[in-house]
Structure 1
Amino acid sequence: MKKFLPPLLAAALGLTLLSGPPAGARPAHGPGWQAAWGAAPQAPATGFTPNWSQEGFSRQTVRQVVRVTEDGDHLRIRLSHAYGTSPLVVTGATLARTDTGPGRAAAVVPGSVRHLTFGGRRSVTVPARGELRSDPATLPVRRLESVTVTLHFAGTTGPATFHSQAWADSYRAEGDHRADVSGRAFTARTSSWYYLSGVEVSGGTPPRSGAVVLFGDSLTDGFGSTPHADRRYSDALAERLDRPVVNSGIGGNLVLNDSAWYGERATARFRRDALDQPGVSTVVLLQGVNDIGFSEAALKADPAPTYKPSPVVTSAELIAGYRTLIDAAHDRGVRIVGATLPPFKGSSHWGPTAERTAAEVDHWIRTSGEFDAVVDFARLLADPADPRALHPAYAYEDRLHPNDAGYRLMAEAVAPLV
C-alpha cells in the first residue's frame, strides 16, 4: 500500500509522493537481526578535527558510546577494517550500558559489562580490508538507549579505519581497561569512531517492519547540530518513528568522486553502507551539494585543501549517479526516497554554476518519477525573502548546513514517507 497524505498536508511538509515498492518490502537480512546503529567507514585522514586514525592504537583501549534505535534482547557489533593494509588483531571487546550520569564520562553501568566473542573466542584477527560481526551477547536494551563498546589492542594496529564526524566523544586509555566500570582511565578523547561500524539487535518486542537508512554527506552526518546532544537529522527521525534508523552519512562525501578526506564516492559505498544493513527497507538519499559546490569553493580565496577533487559537475552527470543508486536499491527490493538539495546561497559552495546545476537537479528529483517518493528540502528550508538561501531560523552559521531546528524540520518531513 502506498503512503498517502492529503495534498495540503503533503505540500505543507514539502513532500511529493510517487509510486514504488511498499514500505517494509525488504525482509530482514539474516534471521531476526536489525541494524540499530551505524557509521560509514572512512580511510584514515586528518579529518575535520584532531583524531587518532592515522596513528592508530598500540597497547591501548578505546571506548565508544552509541545510541541504538531499536529494542532487542541480544546485540552484536560489526567491525570494519575496510581500509587496513595488514591484519588487525582485536585482543578483546566488551559491550555495556552507558552510565549517563553527570560527570560519568566513559563510565558504564555496573553489572552490565559483557565480554564479546568472535566465533567463540574473545580475541579475533580481522583480515586487511575485511569486516566481521561478533557473536550475539545477551543485553536487553530499549530503543534510544546508549550502549558503550570498548575495544582493546594489546599490539599495534597501524592506521585505523574510522568515521570522522561522530558528534560524540570517544575515549582512549593506556593498557587494558575493556572491563572497567569507571571511566577514570580514559583520559584522552576525540570526536570520531574507530573500527566500529554497526550495532545490530534481535529479539525486540514487537519486531518492527524494517530499518530506514539515511544516506548522504554532512547534511545527513549531522554537521551543524549540537555536539554530544543527539540532534542530527537521523536522531530526530528516530525519535518520531517506531522503526530503526541508521545514519550512513559522511561529511564531505561526493556522489561521483572518491576523496582522500571524505570517503569513497556514493556510487561505490552504497551497497556496503546502505543496502547491506540488516533489515533495511527504505533509503533516504540526500547528496550532491558537494559535487556541485566543491568547484565553487575551490575558486574562493584560500580554499580548503579538502575541496579536491573539484571538477565542474553537470546536472546530467549527477542525475546519472542518482540513477545508479536508484537501480541498486530497486534491485534489492528497497524503496528509495529522493531529497532535493537544501538552499545554500551565501555559503562556500555557492556560485553561478552551482546555482544553475542545483536548480536543474532539484527539478529532476521533483518531476522525474524515478524515486519512490520525494521530500523537497529545497522548499521546506528556504528563506521566504530569498528562496535560494536557508531560512535564518533553520541555518547553521556557515549557511550551508541546517541547525538543530532545521534538522528537526527535515525529520518531520521525512517521517510520513518511510
Structure 2
Amino acid sequence: MGSSRRRLRTVLAATLAAVTLAAPVTAEAGGTWKHWTGTWAASMMAPSPGFGPNWSEEGFADHTVRQVVRVSTGGALARVRLSNAYGTGPLTITGATIGRAADGAAVRPGTLRNLTFRGSRSVVVPPGDEVASDPAVFGVRPLDSLAVTLYLAAPTGPATQHLFASATSFRADGDHRADLGAGAFTETTESWYYLAGIDVTGAVPRRDAIAAFGDSITDGALSTVDANNRYPDELAELLVAQGKPRGVLNAGIGGNRVLTDSPCLGEKATSRFHEDVLDEPRVGTVLVLEGINDIGFGALPPGEDPCFSGGPEVTAAQLIAGHRDLIRQAHRHGIRAIGLTLLPYKGAGYYTPEGEAVRDALNRWIRTSGEYDAVVDLDRIMAAPGDADLLNPAYDSGDNLHPNDAGYRAMAEAVASALR
C-alpha cells in the first residue's frame, strides 16, 4: 500500500481544478497549492465484522454515504483522499461532495461543493490504491466539522474502512450527495468508509503536522461518540487555543499490535507505519503509543476467531526492537519521534502479572534509553493515586484500559507540553 500515495502524487501533478465556485483555480490563485498539509486522517482497515454492525463486508450499491469529521488546521483549498486499499476490484465513486456539517447528517446551506477528480465528478480507484480530489475552493478553518458525501451507484463489493470511528456515519438509498437535509439518511453506523484523509493548503508551508500513531487508546475507544474527545482531537483543540493550530492526524487502529498482523485490526505497526505516517503530507512529529495489545493478546489462549484470538506471547526485548524499528523509520524521513509510555491496565480483561512485568520493562526503556527524541510519561500521569499499576478511576472509562473523556484530555495536555 505504501506505493499508492507515491503513484497518487504523480497523477495529482497533472491537475489543478476548482470545485463549483465560479472561477477555476490557477497557480496564482492557489498560491502554495502544492504544499498540502494533512488536517484529518484515518488509518484504513480491511472489511470485517468488528464488534458491532457495520457496512464493510456487504459494501454498497446505489447508496449515498455521508461522513462527518472534524479537522485540525485550516487552509484556503482542500482536497479529499479516498482509499480502495483493501478492495478486490476497481471502486467507482459516481460522485462526491463536501460541505460544512450541521446537525446529524445535515449540511449548512450555501456550503455544499461538488468534488472533482482530474476534472471529472466521478473516479475509479484501482484495488490497493488511493486517489485525491482536485483542489476545492473551500476555505477550511481550524476545528471545522465537514461532511464528505459519496454516491456509490455500482456495487462496490467489500469496503475499505476504519472500524472504530467513535463518530456516526449516515447512509441513504439512491443519490443524495447534494441533499442539505438529513431526511434521506435513515441508516447509521460508527465506522468510516473509503475516507482516508483531508488535506489543506494556502498557508505558509511548514512541515509541522503531527501523526498520533497507536492502537485503540489513540483511536479514541470509549470516548463519547460524535464529541471529538479522542486525545488527538483534544490536542488539536489545545493547539488552536494557544494560537498555534497544526495538522493533527489520528493514525490509531483499535486492537492494533506492534509485532503481529491481524486480518481485522490492521497490519502490524512496523509495516503500516510507512502508509499511515511517512506518506502523510508534511508530518514533522510522530507520537508513538503502542504495545499493550501485543502484551494483552499474548496472554489470551489461541482461539478460532482469526481477528480476536490470543497469542503469540511477546517479550519486552521484542517490543523494544519493534519500537526501535519505528524510530529508525521516522528518523530516516526526518521526523521527530516522541515515545508515550503505556498506560496502566491492571484489572483489564487481558491483564496478567506477567504482562505487567513486560509493560514495566518496555516503559522503563522508553523512559530512560534516550532513543526517542522526547518522552511523555503517560504511565505515571494516568496512574491511580496509591497504585501505579491501575488506571486512575477519574480517567477510567470503566474497563481499566481505555480512558474516558477526561482521561483523553489529560493525555492531550501532557503531550502538548512535549511539542515544540
TM-score for both structures, normalised by structure 1: 0.89
Aligned equivalent of 2:137: 138
Aligned equivalent of 2:282: 279
Aligned equivalent of 1:126: 125
Q: Distance in 2 between matches of 1:198 and 1:357?
A: 35
Q: Residue 228 of structure 1: CA displacement?
A: 1.2
Q: Residue 224 of structure 1: CA displacement?
A: 2.0
Aligned equivalent of 2:15: none
Instruction: Name the SS for the 1:317 alignment partner.
Output: helix
Write out aligned runs for 1:174-189 (5 A): 174-189=173-188
Q: Distance in 1 between matches of 2:206 and 2:71?
A: 14
Aligned equivalent of 2:11: none
Deviations, residues 349-390 of structure 1 (Å, cap 9, x unaligned): 210220110111011111111100001111111112211000
**2:95 paired with 1:92:** yes
Aligned equivalent of 2:12: none
Q: Distance in 1 between matches of 2:365 and 2:197?
A: 33
Q: Distance in 2 between matches of 1:198 and 1:113?
A: 18
Deviations, residues 194-250 of structure 1 (Å, cap 9, x unaligned): 00010000114x655511110000010001211111111011100111211110100
Q: Tell me which amino acid in the other structure corresponds to 1:344.
A: Y
Match of 2:228 among 230, 235, 260: 230
Aligned equivalent of 1:24: none
Contact 2:300 2:310 in 1 (8 A): no
Give identity over the alignment, percent.
54
Contact 1:72 1:202 in 2 (8 A): yes
Q: Distance in 2 between matches of 1:364 and 1:315?
A: 9
Q: Distance in 1 between matches of 2:336 and 2:207?
A: 13
Aligned equivalent of 1:58: 61
**2:266 paired with 1:268:** no
Q: Tell me which amino acid in the other structure corresponds to 2:156.
A: T
Structure 1: segments with no counterpart, 5+ residues: 1-28
Q: Distance in 1 between matches of 2:276 and 2:130?
A: 12
Structure 2: segments with no counterpart, 5+ residues: 1-31, 240-244
Match of 1:38 among 35, 38, 41: 41
Q: Distance in 2 between matches of 1:341 and 1:306?
A: 23
Aligned equivalent of 2:29: none
Q: Residue 409 of structure 1: CA displacement?
A: 0.7
Instruction: Name the SS for the 2:131 alignment partner.
Output: strand
Q: Distance in 1 between matches of 2:257 and 2:161?
A: 18
Aligned equivalent of 1:168: 167
Write out aligned runs for 1:15-414 (5 A): 31-99=34-102, 104-204=103-203, 210-241=208-239, 242-298=245-301, 306-414=307-415
Change (3 A) 1:30 1:181: closer
Contact 1:152 1:178 in 2 (8 A): yes
TM-score for both structures, normalised by structure 2: 0.89
Pairs aligned (count): 383
Q: Residue 309 of structure 1: CA displacement?
A: 5.0
Contact 1:297 1:307 in 2 (8 A): no
Q: Residue 30 of structure 1: CA displacement?
A: 8.1
Q: Distance in 1 between matches of 2:136 and 2:291?
A: 39
Q: Distance in 1 between matches of 2:304 and 2:224?
A: 26
Higher RCO (C-alpha 8 Å, min separation 6): 1
Contact 1:259 1:309 in 2 (8 A): no
Name whichever of 355-364 and 302-311 sits farther off: 302-311
